[in-house]
Amino acid sequence: MPEETLVLDQNRCKALSSKTRVAILKVLDRRRMSLSEVAGECDLALSTVHEQMTHLVEAGFVVSENDGHKWVYYALTPDGKAILHPNKQINVLVVLAAAVFTLVAGLGTIALYLYDLLGPKDLGWYQDGDENLSPLIVGIVLLAMAGILGYLALCRRRGKTSA
């Protein structure tokens, strides 16, 4: 079975940032519906549903189906279904990406701390000649978090946890 890739660009993230649009996606997960059916299910005005549906169609999560009848029906696209029912591979990639980002942030914080400690004393982490250990502590915490996230991604990939 070939793996599918779900790309989340700025437009798609913006579409998912609205609780109303996510609620509409969940309603459409049951079956295809007209605007008035979605409005009734979500308890929203028809104009509101139409506006929100436009964003979802533009983002590629919903498709409008006009089969020649009076009503236009809306249904989830494969990407819309993937958002509501993500597979294990997508979850692992998100956790792994978070682990890598946290690792880089932790190493960067520690590197800046060591540069300031060993190099010129003008980065502002020193107060009255006393060393402030806050950046070092933050760096260590970020490295620990990266280790935990990496472990979770590894366990998830092996199927040992459902977290």
| % helix, strand, coil for the chain, step of 5 | 65, 10, 30
Q: How far is CA 138 from CA 78, 102, 123, in A?
A: 41, 11, 16
Domain closes at, from 32, 51, 84: 84
**Cα–Cα distance for residue pair 106/155, rounded to 1 Å:** 22
94 domain residue, yes or no: yes
163 domain residue, yes or no: no
**Structural domain boundaries, residue 34:** 10-84
State the distance between the two ends of the chain, measured CA to CA, in whole angstroms. Answer: 24
135 domain residue, yes or no: yes
Is the domain of 55 the same as that of 98? no
Q: What residues are paired with 73 via a beta bridge?
A: 34, 65
In the block, residue with structure tokens 């979770």: 152
Tell me whether strands 62-65 and 126-127 are parallel, antiparallel or unpaired: unpaired
pLDDT for 62? 93
Give me the number of domains the chain comprises: 2
Is the domain of 77 the same as that of 106? no
Is the domain of 73 the same as that of 134? no
Decide if pLDDT at 160 tops 90.
Answer: no
% pLDDT > 90, the chain: 25
Q: What residues are paired with 111 via a beta bridge?
A: none
The model's pTM: 0.53
- Largest distance between two CA atoms of the chain: 78
Express each pLDDT in 89-135 by its tens digit.
Answer: 666 677 778 888 899 999 998 888 887 777 765 555 555 455 677 88
pLDDT for 4? 60
Is the domain of 92 the same as that of 139? yes
2 domain residue, yes or no: no
Domain closes at, from 40, 69, 84: 84
Residue 7 carries which DSSP code?
A: -
Q: CB-hemisphere CA count at 13 Å for 163?
A: 13
**Cα–Cα distance for residue pair 100/147, rounded to 1 Å:** 9
Domain closes at, from 33, 67, 84: 84
